[in-house]
Amino acid sequence: MPAGRSTGRPRGGPRALRRAERRRRLRRTILGTTALIALTVTAYTFSPGNPEVATVADGRGAGPARSAPADAGAVAPTAASPAPRQSRRATAEPSKGHSASPSNSTPASPKASVSPSAPASGPGVFTASTVTGQPQGKGAVRSWRVEVEQGSGVDANAAARAVETVLGDPRGWIRDPAYGFRLAGPGQPVDFTVKIATPSTTDRLCEVVTPELVGETNCRAGHTVVVNLKRWQEGSPQFSGTVEEYRALIVNHEVGHELGREHETCPGAGRPAPAMMQQIKGLLGCTANAWPFDAAGTYLAGPRVP
């Protein structure tokens, strides 16, 4: 055999051959095990995880007109919120600067349980209400439910009853025979969702970029009414009424956007501010008001904001 060349066979006879074969088998086993571990890690990373837990979405994605409901007690999915029927932009309503109108006080309503103080952030995972309501109003019924962010300290069912009281008030939107609402139960589809979210999650859902509104605002994004947990629990330093009255203003304003209502402004000095007025920008001579209609059934309108 020429110098410098090898047959590629192990030296040392049959015993050496067996040792070489064992080494090759060991290498193949190690390589196969490594590949299996890599595939397992990849599959775990991209798996959907627990089907009852979903991370928060911004509510603007395209989808069916009615969202798929969550099962009773399950965490409500938010990644496939239905597309809005009007504008896809969030209609943010800052929560400061409103004051209560003595002539428009809110009747007693169920108290939504709260924690002593509102956490600034949460996991972005929501729990849906499981209670069911009766139709309210004479118009085509829009079904809805409440979802509360986990760790917020708010009970989803108590919050749902509080919102239901606002939507069913005769000074609310049901005074217009075109509108109707119903609190949807487990397994029932909804037309819109009322989410109570921590300030940081609210900012993400509402795409808040204005510095003075960070952590302070509510909004309507797609078919989702986003209520800032801080405002839900504490009201506003500028609001002289009860927390329940302030919640009525939040619900009426943001649900008004869901109904297709745009912002309005003060109709004249001394008159009630429309519920669709951005009262944080100043009352412009109007008196504060949380309701779309007065006790006599007159719509408290104002000039539309261009």
Please give, one letter per residue, the 3-state secondary structure of the chain.
CCCCCCCCCCCCCHHHHHHHHHHHHHHHHHHHHHHHHHHHHHHHHHCCCCCCCCCCCCCCCCCCCCECCCCCCCEECCCCCCCCCCCCCCCCEECCCCCCCHHHCCCCCCCCCCCCCCCCCCCCCEEECCCCCCCEECCEEEEEEEEEECCCCCCHHHHHHHHHHHHCCCCCHHHCCCEEEEECCCCCCECEEEEEECHHHHHHHHCCCCHHHCCCEEEEECCEEEEEHHHHHHCCCCCCCCHHHHHHHHHHHHHHHHCCCCCECCCCCCCECCCCECHHHCCCCCECCCCCECCCCCECCCCECC
Task: Read off the pTM.
Answer: 0.65
Give the model confidence (pLDDT) of 211-222 as tens digits.
888 988 899 999
Strand partners of residue 126: 76, 149
Averaged pLDDT, 161-175: 98
The answer to whether residue 107 scores a pLDDT higher than 80 is no
The answer to whether residue 286 scores a pLDDT higher than 90 is no
- Least confidently predicted of 26-30, 66-70, 214-218: 66-70
101 or 155: which carries more pLDDT confidence? 155
The answer to whether residue 69 scores a pLDDT higher than 50 is no
Confidence at residue 7, expressed as pLDDT on a 0 to 100 scale: 46
Give the model confidence (pLDDT) of 218-255 as tens digits.
999 999 999 999 999 988 776 666 889 889 999 999 99
Q: Which residue from 257, 246, 183, 191 is spatially nearest to 220, judged by alpha carbons?
A: 257
The answer to whether residue 72 scores a pLDDT higher than 90 is no
The answer to whether residue 91 scores a pLDDT higher than 70 is no
Confidence at residue 49, expressed as pLDDT on a 0 to 100 scale: 34
Q: Which residue from 63, 79, 59, 293 is spatially nearest to 194, judged by alpha carbons?
A: 59
Confidence at residue 86, expressed as pLDDT on a 0 to 100 scale: 37
The answer to whether residue 296 scores a pLDDT higher than 80 is yes
136 or 282: which carries more pLDDT confidence? 136
pLDDT band at 287 (very low <50, low <70, confident <90, very high): confident
The answer to whether residue 302 scores a pLDDT higher than 70 is yes
Confidence at residue 32, expressed as pLDDT on a 0 to 100 scale: 58
Q: Where are the domains of the chain?
A: 75-262
Confidence at residue 10, expressed as pLDDT on a 0 to 100 scale: 45
Averaged pLDDT, 93-102: 38
On the 0-12 / 13-18 / 19+ scale of CB atoms within 10 A, 186 is: middle
CB hemisphere CA count around 229 (13 angstroms): 31
The answer to whether residue 201 scores a pLDDT higher than 90 is yes
Averaged pLDDT, 7-25: 64
Identity at 146, one-letter amino acid code:
V
Confidence at residue 154, expressed as pLDDT on a 0 to 100 scale: 95
- 59-78: burial string, b at 16+ Cβ within 10 Å, e else: bbeebeeebebbeeebbbbb
Phi–psi pair at 49, nearest 5 degrees: 80, -160
The answer to whether residue 51 scores a pLDDT higher than 70 is no
Averaged pLDDT, 291-305: 96
Q: How many Å apart are CA 260 and CA 265, to the nearest integer?
A: 16
